[in-house]
Structure 1
Amino acid sequence: MKLTKTLALAGLMLAANLAPAASGPAAPPMPDAQQVQAAHDLLAAMQAEKMMRATAGMSRYPTPQQRQAVFDKLDKVPAEQIYQRLSIPVARLVSTETATEMTRYYQSSYGQRVLKQTYNSGPSLYDTAPVPTAKEKVELKRPAFVKADKAFKEAEPAIRHETFVLLTAISR
């Protein structure tokens, strides 16, 4: 009798310890206002509204009419609203330093050429990235940029996912 009580008590203690772990990972903390503003500025510099259109263009639709309906809804959404709605999810994915450095990059002349190539070019078989000038090459080798670029590239799939989530919400 004493053995069964001990085993039952041990089982309850084990279950109590495992219950919080089984509930899943904790939600990421809410980013502060400075981090959200940095993400907002990054999205504006990246022209996130064009990223939304690209995501809509890559998505599959049962009919051409549904595709056009999604594009029509997307055209009615102001760019500022897209930045606001994406800024909190993006702020959870990138640090303030990364967002600030990448904003600086996308606002540079080379970053503008990269964005133009990204959003305005058709499909190609080879890399058609613009060639940086000597001054731009120096900027691209700065340690702060290299670190931010690496962190941003790691977060980019998640940012594209958040873009798709927002596109889905807008299209409903």
Structure 2
Amino acid sequence: MKLVIQAVLGLSLLSASPAYSAATVQPASTAAPSPAHVNAVQGLLGAMQIEKLLNGVAARSRYQSDAQRQAVFAKLKRTPPAEIYQRLAAPMAQLISADTAIEMTRFYNTPYGKQVIHKKYNSGSQIIMPGTKPVVPPEEKKERKRAAYVQASKELADAEPAIEREAFKLLQLINKEKR
């Protein structure tokens, strides 16, 4: 009997204790981002050439027929990149801070950042011999170690799944539009 009372008492303490109770989820900020924040994110989307991400999302999507696939790609081709940046900027501003947008835009506009973007969308198979390491110039090594870049890069990487989801949503909207 003592064991049952101790078990009940223990469970009641656990359920009453805030440390063991279910964690409360804080809702995302519902405040609208400032126009400067949205513009910073729009600049980042342009530097990232996000329209190529939309093409990748379209290529990975399933279609009922090849004609439907071609129609989606035709609509994407007719949609100007600036319109894509503008339409994605507001939802992305909820995911990406203004500081991250500014820092990553600066990075992607450097020669090394342009190489990163080019490799991201145009990577082919690469043969790397065992024991060889890619040659990274000293200025690029220094860039990778900057605290602002490290933090912004991590935040952007963490937001990548949400960015893909927003790109898919925009792709669906573009597909529904009459163009």
| TM-score interval, smaller chain | 0.7 to 0.9
- 1:22 aligned partner: none
1:142 paired to 2:146: yes
How many angstroms apart in 1 are the aligned matches of 2:62 and 2:126? 20
Q: 2:74 aligns with which of 65, 72, 87?
A: 72
1:152 paired to 2:148: no
Structure 1 residues 123, 66: CA separation in 2 closer, same or farther (over 3 Å shift)? farther
Conserved in 2, the CA contact under 8 Å of 1:110 and 1:132? no
CA RMSD of aligned residues (A): 2.1
How many angstroms apart in 2 are the aligned matches of 1:102 and 1:124? 26
Give ranges in structure 1 of 5+ residues lacking alignment.
1-24
TM-score in terms of structure 2 length: 0.76
How many angstroms apart in 2 are the aligned matches of 1:77 and 1:141? 37
- 2:88 aligned partner: 86
Structure 1 residues 57, 143: CA separation in 2 closer, same or farther (over 3 Å shift)? same
Give ranges in structure 2 of 5+ residues lacking alignment.
1-26, 129-133
The one-letter code of the counterpart of 2:145 is: K
Q: Percent identical across equivalent pairs?
A: 48
TM-score in terms of structure 1 length: 0.78
How many angstroms apart in 2 are the aligned matches of 1:54 and 1:132? 28
- 1:171 aligned partner: 175
CA apart distance, 1:162: 0.5
- 1:110 aligned partner: 112
- 1:3 aligned partner: none
Q: Tell me, what secondary structure is at the counterpart of 1:93?
A: coil
Structure 1 residues 104, 63: CA separation in 2 closer, same or farther (over 3 Å shift)? same
The one-letter code of the counterpart of 1:141 is: K
- 1:20 aligned partner: none
Aligned residues: 146
1:99 paired to 2:101: yes
- 1:46 aligned partner: 48
The one-letter code of the counterpart of 1:84 is: Q
- Which structure shows the higher helix fraction? 1
How many angstroms apart in 1 are the aligned matches of 2:83 and 2:64? 27
Deviations 1:35-54 (A, max 9, x none): 00100000000011111111
Q: Tell me, what secondary structure is at the counterpart of 1:94?
A: coil
